[in-house]
A = this chain, B = another copy of it.
Amino acid sequence: MTYFSESDIQNLNHLYKINLINSCSGYKSANLIGTKSSDGIENVAVFSSVTHIGSSPAMLGFFLRPTTVIRNTYENLKATGFYTINHIHQNITEEAHHTSAKYDASVSEFEVTNLKSEYKGNFSAPFVSNAPVQLAMQFVEEYEIKANNTILVIGKIIGLYVNDTLVEDDGFINLSKAKVAAINGLDGYAIPETKARYGYQRPKELKASS
């Protein structure tokens, strides 16, 4: 196996390092976060760090750096309190990835890509049209990660839309039926195929040791 020590990693050139470290944690979720500014300008941006926090209450988290392109998302969700999370699927991976380009806050990514915004009920933030899973989120709290000034944003799910065909009898959303993407590293998009569900695990009976 190839080995990289801590100092090897520190001394890698920038591009090699960000590719390596961004792909070493495994597959990442592939989501588009939609917001609207107080001025009414829509924003949508790709995120690969949306993570399950808890089911009761139903909460998700994601990480961002306030000093990057992602700032529009952060400013909008702090100003309005609301955002959407939308799954990236096979047909929109290229357009979704383009939302990582650094556009000025006055430009909506919905205008410069083929992604279409969509509004549901009286929820103020834009969803991404045709995403197989769409979440209406309300900001709850944030944590500044001291080690590198990243921000963890925690939100609660106040609405969940799922394509009818994806929800199985026990509540499981079959993501592979919808060709939902997973992200590898900074810019790799993969389409998983579900192989197995193994259910809730109970301990095996162990032989008493003598």
Contact = CB atoms under 8 A, between A and B. Distances in A.
Contacts of A9: 58, 157, 160
Contacts of A52: 21-22, 25, 28, 48-49, 63
Interface centre among A18, A24, A160, A193 (most CB of B within 10 A): A24
B192 A196 contact: no
Contacts of A2: 161-164, 167
Interface string A173-204: 11110001110111111111111111111111
A51 interface: yes
A198 B56 CA distance: 37
A116 interface: no
A107 to B, nearest CB: 7
A24 B160 contact: yes
Contacts of A28: 27, 29, 51-52
A18 B161 CA distance: 16
A147 interface: yes
A168 B203 CA distance: 40
Contact of A54 (B87, B148, B186, B195): B148
Interface residues of A, number: 112
Given A172-B20, A191-B192, A162 B53 contact: no
Contacts of A147: 53-54, 57, 59, 140-141, 154, 156
B27 A159 contact: no
Nearest to A94: B198
Contact of A170 (B19, B50, B172): B19
Nearest to A1: B161
20 contacts: A2-B163, A10-B57, A15-B170, A19-B171, A19-B172, A20-B167, A23-B172, A24-B173, A25-B60, A27-B27, A28-B51, A53-B145, A98-B204, A99-B201, A107-B206, A143-B145, A143-B152, A175-B190, A176-B184, A186-B200
